[in-house]
Amino acid sequence: MNLKSVTALAGSLALAACSSSMQSASPDQLPATRGQPSPDDAPQNAIVIRRKALERSDDLLLYVMDKEVPSVRIAFDSGNSGNGCPRISLRGPIVGDYQSNPRVYLDGTPLSDTCILMQLRSTQVAWMELYPSGSTRRAGYEVDPHGLILVFMRRI
């Protein structure tokens, strides 16, 4: 079964979980991006998915990550044990039910899970930075042993 068909099965449960995944309110109420960074300022240990790659298709952000970064592994919780959000590994396989998701930030705001990656469309995002090492020199981001995913929204 391919990633899109698995995602379709997880659909309604995942979208319901996505709405509760943010620790703050809606995306339009998020604080301004920290210091207005640029993808050109990304540290060398970052895997950057730039606007050009994001605009190639109007697809879910999760699918773009899967296509653009060969080391990304994605799985979905089976049954009722999980919250319907994708399980993601930025390096190596996903083993069993062990939750080893990277920490996700949306414009500098930490999120409680990975559901937002199934909610956002690639054309809504300016760029993404993935840190398999779990650390970045960008100010204000915590170190996470499972990696970091920084998502920077387009400004209208």
- State how far the Cα of 128 lies from the Cα of 69, in Å rounded to an integer: 11
Model pLDDT for residues 118-138, shown as the tens digit of each residue: 999 999 999 999 999 999 998
- DSSP characters for 46-73? -EEE-HHHHHTS--BHHHHHHHH-TT-E
Spell out the domain ranges in the chain: 3-22+37-153
Which fold is adopted by the domain 3-22+37-153? Ferric Hydroxamate Uptake Protein; Chain A, domain 1 (2.170.130)
Amino acid 24: pLDDT: 38
3-class state of residue 84 by DSSP: coil
Q: CB of 62 within 8 A of CB of 118?
A: yes
Amino acid 25: pLDDT: 35
- State how far the Cα of 71 lies from the Cα of 48, in Å rounded to an integer: 13
Parts of the chain with a pLDDT under 50? 1-34, 80
Q: CB of 64 within 8 A of CB of 51?
A: no
Which value, in Å, is the radius of gyration of the alpha carbons in the chain? Answer: 15
Model pLDDT for residues 5-16, shown as the tens digit of each residue: 444 434 433 333
Amino acid 82: pLDDT: 58
Amino acid 34: pLDDT: 46
